[in-house]
Amino acid sequence: MLKVTIGQYYPADSFIHRLDARMKLLCTMIFVVVIFFIGNFLGYALAALYLVVVIRVSKVPPKFLLRGLRAILFIIVFTAVLNVFFTPGETLVFELGFVRVTQEGLLAAGRMGLRLVMLIIGSSILTLTTTPIQLTDAIESALKPFKKIGVPAHEIAMMMTIALRFIPTLIEEMDKIMKAQMARGADFDTGGIVKKARSLVPLLVPLFISAFRRAEELALAMESRCYRGDVGRTRMKQMKMALRDLGALISLAVFTGGLFILNHIANIHGIW
Amino acid sequence: MSIEIKNLCHYYGKGSTFEKKALDEINLTIEKGDFVGLIGHTGSGKSTLVQHLNALIKPQSGNIIIDGEDINADKSRLKAIRTKVGLVFQYPEHQLFDMTVYKDVAFGPKNAGLSEEEVDERVKTSLEMVGIAPELHQKSPFELSGGQKRRVAIAGVLAMRPEILVLDEPAAGLDPRGRDEILGQVKLMHEKLGITVILVSHSMEDIARLVNRILVINGGKIALTGTPAEIFSKFDELEAIGLSSTQTAYIMRDLQAKGFNLPNNIFTVDEAVATILEVYLHE
Ligand SMILES: Nc1ncnc2c1ncn2[C@@H]1O[C@H](COP(=O)(O)OP(=O)(O)OP(=O)(O)O)[C@@H](O)[C@H]1O
Ligand SMILES: [Mg+2]
């Protein structure tokens, strides 16, 4: 059985879930940018504290967040290791042949690793507490200002919505076709690369045919309900900002302000 | 060839927020040569259960024993087991892929590693069994009508010569003639070759006509088992789980209530016609 983790939504009723998706998108973007300006570990401690509070408020079990982290663990480790080796520095920690590990390198690696982890956790909170549909709506409104320069905001959002909607369907379909062919003795696991590639034909042909059939049916269904793109389109679910959205923004502003003060203090006293 | 299922449970999305218990402590035995009907309303777990029978889904707990062999015990036996137990999926036409009807049906036997002559013989007889004319053998399966596709797909499983044939709603969406032809063929194969057949269907009429034993599944549990006569006389129990007895059974019940002197165990149209004629013409 295949598992989908792309944009996985965790249904719950929390303050974070109820926030306007546009506000969540904005706050996540601000958070990600701010994370990259933190220069010392005191700042990371504050950011971690902020994240912990947000996670508690969102009622998402931490294991869901860690699951997302596990998927990109390799990238994090890889980036950190690169940083260790390629940061120029003075204070030598140890040397082994041509490998020089310096204090500056270790610190840079630590910062980079923490940044990536927080970036992933921050954006996971967004996708875990926002349904894909709300998210694409938010992206559409974020792209609206660029419409004037020819960015097809609505079309991009619609395509994303449809793609998100059909990923699980296609996976389910693939699972079914795979089983049906396995019932006829197909073998997807053994053999060399050529044999494996050939064994995919009985899987991919039906999958493509059904994807095209679905696309055609969907287009027909949309047209028969008078879909004609963006112009004059209204929404069933209007997005409305509420007081709590302002609250969320203020909490982020306080956090950012705190970080800058910490940064300043750290600079004066020369803390890492 | 008996099938024995012991304490079988299955959850979809185990451990996630969407966890769903699809099978709950299933225990049952199917004897060799039985023609078993599996009924239950939408989402009751029929498809999940039958996919366990040829190890497409591994039991999360419990065992499936076919012919004294636990089918999940030895991975190297999987192919042999899938040859022994042929499974026709719901909407099997969606699995067609090859350039011609002939090649598509040959896929299974070829995977089983049979000789060319053997494959040729099997493809031709299975296509004949499902009523696909030789002119269509070299056509692309995608040019056929929906009903013809379904037949080709079923032939693809028949060509494996299974000793146990499992059909998941093989007649859904076919016209009455197509349905009768396909089910008639299944019945014929059951009688001629003595294979065990498990038929999943929403048509109580088809079930009453064809099978000698019924399993009723509800909410992932076996709710009732018995002969068609036993099951279809339990009107209230069937209705309580969203099913019904056959229409003929309802007519016979209403006729009895109106005072007609008719026997109690009539569930198919043919039987009903014969009985009513016998009782009233000979009076
Ligand atoms: N791939 C899947 N992922 C998650 N849940 C599933 C999956 N397949 C089935 N289910 C759930 O398991 C339960 C049993 O499904 P199953 O397909 O076995 O029912 P069924 O009796 O065959 O129904 P139908 O008569 O509609 O074919 C249903 O509640 C269904 O929602
Ligand atoms: Mg089903």
Q: What's the CA gap between A134 and A181, in Å, rounded?
A: 37
Return the minimum-mean-pLDDT range out of A22-31, B2-11, B265-274: B265-274
Cα distances (angstroms) measured from residue A247 to each of A107, A241, A261: 35, 11, 21
Whether residue B162 has its Cβ less than 6 Å from ligand 1: no
Could you say which DSSP state residue B89 is in?
P
Contacts B97 to A, Cβ<8 Å: 201-203, 205-206
Eight-state DSSP code of residue A185: T
Query: Between vectors from CA A70 to CA A47 and to CA B56, what angle results, nearest 5°?
Result: 150
Name every residue whose Cβ is closer than 8 Å to that of residue A259 and which is 6 or more positions away in sequence. A34, A37, A38, A43, A46, A47
Ligand 1 contact via B40 beta carbon (within 6 Å): yes
Interior/surface letters B93-124, b for 16+ CB within 10 angstroms, e for the rest: bbbbbbeebbbbbbbbbbbbebeeeebeebbb
pLDDT band for position A272 (50/70/90)? Answer: low
Write the CB contacts of A221 (distance below 8 Å, at least 6 apart in sequence).
none
Tell me if A184 and B108 make a contact (CB, 8 A cut-off). yes
**CB count in 10 Å sphere of residue A233:** 10
Contact list, A185 vs chain B (CB under 8 Å): 79, 82-83, 107-108, 111-112, 160
Start-to-end C-alpha separation, chain A: 47
pLDDT > 90: percent of chain B:
52
Q: Which residue of B has its CA nearest to A67?
A: B16
Whether B142 sits inside 8 A of A180 (CB atoms) is no
State the Rg of chain A over Cα. Answer: 24
Nearest-CA residue for atom 28 of ligand 1: B43
Q: Is the pLDDT score of A1 beyond 50? A: no
**Of the partner residues B54, B94, B111, the one whose CB lies closest to the CB of residue A186:** B111
Q: How far is A206 from A198, CA to CA, in rounded Å? A: 14
Strand order, beta sheet including B196-200: B85-88, B164-168, B196-200, B35-39, B213-218, B221-226
Integer CA distances (angstroms), B51 to A176, A183, A197, B86, B87, in order: 10, 9, 26, 10, 8
Residue A3 has pLDDT above 60, yes or no: no
Per residue in B173-200, pLDDT tens?
A: 788 888 888 899 899 889 988 899 999 9
Residue A4 confidence (pLDDT) above 70: no
For residues A7 and A163, the answer to whether their CB atoms sit within 8 Å is no
Q: Is B44 in the pocket of ligand 1 (CB under 6 A)?
A: yes
Q: What tokens were used for B160?
A: 């494996």
Whether residue B139 is predicted with pLDDT greater than 80 in this model: the reply is yes
Q: For ligand 1, is residue B173 a contact (CB within 6 Å)?
A: no
pLDDT 10s digits, A59-105: 988 888 887 788 788 888 888 888 887 777 777 777 777 777 788 88
Q: What's chain A's average pLDDT?
A: 85
Query: What distances in angstroms separate CA B195 from CA A226, B8, B53, B61, B160, one per listed residue?
Result: 53, 24, 15, 28, 13
Q: Which residues contact B4 (CB under 8 A, 6 or more apart)?
A: B28, B29, B30, B63, B64, B65, B66
| B32 touches ligand 1 (CB under 6 Å) | no
Q: How far is the CA of B50 from the centre of ligand 2 (A)?
A: 9
Overall fold of domain B3-245: Rossmann fold (3.40.50)
Shortest Cα–Cα distance, A66 to chain B (Å): 14
The chain A residue lying nearest B107, using CA atoms, is: A184
**Which residue in the set B94, B98, B111 is minimally distant from A185, CB to CB?**
B111
pLDDT digits (tens, 9 = 90+) for B65-101: 998 888 888 888 888 888 899 999 988 888 898 999 9
Q: What is the reported pLDDT for A5?
A: 46
Residue of B nearest to A11 (CA): B17
Q: Does residue B215 have a pLDDT over 90?
A: yes
Res A6: pLDDT? 47
**What value does the mean pLDDT take over residues A140-164?**
86
Q: Cβ A179–B56 below 8 Å, yes or no?
A: yes
For residues A251-266, average pLDDT: 89
Helix (H, G, I), strand (E, B) or coil at A136: helix
In this structure, are residues B104 and B96 in contact, taking their beta carbons and an 8 Å threshold? yes
Can you name the residues that pair with B85 across neighbouring β-strands?
A: B164
Higher per-residue pLDDT: B256 or A39: B256
For tokens 């079988």, the residue is: B8
Q: List CB contacts of B90: < 8 A, sequence separation 6 or more.
A: B47, B168, B169, B172, B200
Alpha-carbon separation of residue B148 from A173, B58, B101, B151, B166 (angstroms):
21, 32, 10, 5, 20
List, in sequence order, every residue forming a beta bridge with B10; answer none if it has no partner: B23
Helix (H, G, I), strand (E, B) or coil at B216: strand
- Alpha helices, DSSP H only, in A144-270? 153-183, 193-199, 201-224, 243-269
**Whether A26 contacts A145, CB under 8 Å:** no
Q: Which residue has the higher pLDDT, A4 or A206?
A: A206
Distance CA(A38)–CA(A170), nearest Å, equals 42
Indicate yes or no: CB of A184 within 8 angstroms of CB of B54.
no
Q: Do A182 and B79 touch (CB under 8 A)?
A: no
Strand partners, B69: B66
Question: Which chain B residues have a beta carbon less than 8 Å from that of A128?
Answer: none
Asked if A179 and B94 come within 8 Å (Cβ–Cβ), the reply is no
Q: What is the ipTM of this complex?
A: 0.83
Closest C-alpha to A27, from A183, A266, A268, A245: A245
Cα B223 to ligand 2 centre (Å):
17
Parallel, antiparallel, or unpaired: how do β-strands B61-66 and B35-39 relate? unpaired
Q: Is B203 in the pocket of ligand 1 (CB under 6 A)?
A: no
The rounded distance, in Å, linking the Cα atoms of A123 and A51 is 11
Q: Which residues of B touch A179 (CB under 8 A)?
A: 51, 56, 89
Round to whole Å and give the CA distance between A172 and B25: 25
